[in-house]
Amino acid sequence: MEKKVAIIGVGQSTFVRQYPGSIRELAFDGFKDCLLDAGITAKDIGASVVCSAPEYDKQRSPAGVFAEYLGLNPQPTFYVESLCSSSTTGIRLAYSLVKSGLHDVVAVLGFQKMSEISSSESQERMGRGADIQWESPFGTMMPAYYAMYARAHMEKYGTTPDDLALIRVKAATYGQINDRAVYRKPVTFEMFKDPENIMGRPVATPLRVGDCCANADGSSCIIVASAEKAKSFCKKPVWIMGLGSATTSVNLAGRDLFSGLSAAQDAARQAYEMAGVTPKDIDVAEVHDCFTIAEMMAYENLGFAEPGEGKELIRGKETYKDGSIPVNVDGGLLSKGHPIGATGGSQVRTIVLQLRDEAGDIQVKDPEIGLVHNIGGVGLYGNVTILGR
């Protein structure tokens, strides 16, 4: 692999249900954490990319506000959004800026303060991530969309609600030991069977409360640098080996696959080809588990299992830390929470720490190559990022 662009710093705020400060203070939490990790100052950064989904707070053009507050002026700043995959889209932009030679060091800052609006308002905003003419006016919501995918997967492959519950149990196993996660309580399989327990209550059949991630406030920051700068600033640079991105029809009526996400499949194929690796070479992965069915489909869309066989991975605990392909050993979105614009950066942070052998209690043994799968909307956007030591 030709080493051209590296990640030299990662940071993340603690994800919380309700952050007490402003969005600029929230952004600072992740930014400060990242600068300390990289061992650099704001003056070393040549450009910044701010990533979020709009309409969750009142501030328009937050990139300019953050550049001023974080001491990044007069360097250029950019704002990008691709719904829940915004911060990995930002990393793709940062990679391009560095690879082109326009900038040597670029900070990618993802954030979301979802608590500024009510839950019903938040659901309405999420619904508008679909087509506002042909779908969202009819009341479609994220759980209902993914419930359709879950039903299709179950009908085609015999996947069961119990298989999905096993994914949530795994998420909670690691979420309990992630001090940056919203949900740090144990979840057992039996909770899904207990009629008095909230985990098994239906949301959109066959998905239950325990199958769904929840909103959160949080920020993340990733610093991307050229090879020359990476080697001068950083003792353990992590190299960007492959990037894949794809989109698909925003309307579900325009899709022909409902047991997987075609954008994820296309993005994975691109990333593997660019990196010169195969799914068998991946030692640890972070996938976009906004719902348990999303993680199940990711196993198959990324080539970790054949279509319909993802359930065998979770049944055999192959996606646990000591399994053949550890997935979401930081608890995933199901435990960490999902502050939309910050999520992809948080996933990248986890993989970078894994590849630097700095992941603590969730450290996978001697990983060389890691993968991040980040989805925007209901499979509308797909980003896959492959990182290596």
Tracing tokens 């996400």 back to the chain, one arrives at: 261
d(CA 231, CA 42): 18
Cis peptide before 20 (omega within 30 of 0): no
**Is-catalytic flag, 213?**
no
- Please name which of 364, 371, 375 lies closest in space to residue 385, comparing C-alpha atoms: 371
Nearest in space to 274 (alpha carbons), one of 241, 238, 225: 241
Nearest Cα residue to 146 out of 14, 338, 314: 338
Q: Helix, strand, coil % (nearest 5) of the chain?
A: 40, 20, 40
For Cα atoms 123, 210, 216, give the angle at the middle one, nearest 5 degrees: 45
Pair of tokens at residue 293: 């069915």
- Identified catalytic residue from 34, 51, 84, 213: 84
Q: How many helices (H) and strands (E) does the chain have?
A: 12, 11
Q: For this structure, is 103 an active site residue?
A: no
DSSP readout, 24-84?
HHHHHHHHHHHHHHHT--GGG--EEEEE--TTSSS-SSHHHHHHHHTT-TTS-EEEE-BTB
Instruction: Exactly one of 103, 288, 338, 373 is catalytic; name it.
Output: 338
Q: Are residues 308 and 157 in contact, defined by beta-carbon separation less than 8 angstroms?
A: yes
Where in the sequence numbering do the catalytic residues fall? 84, 338
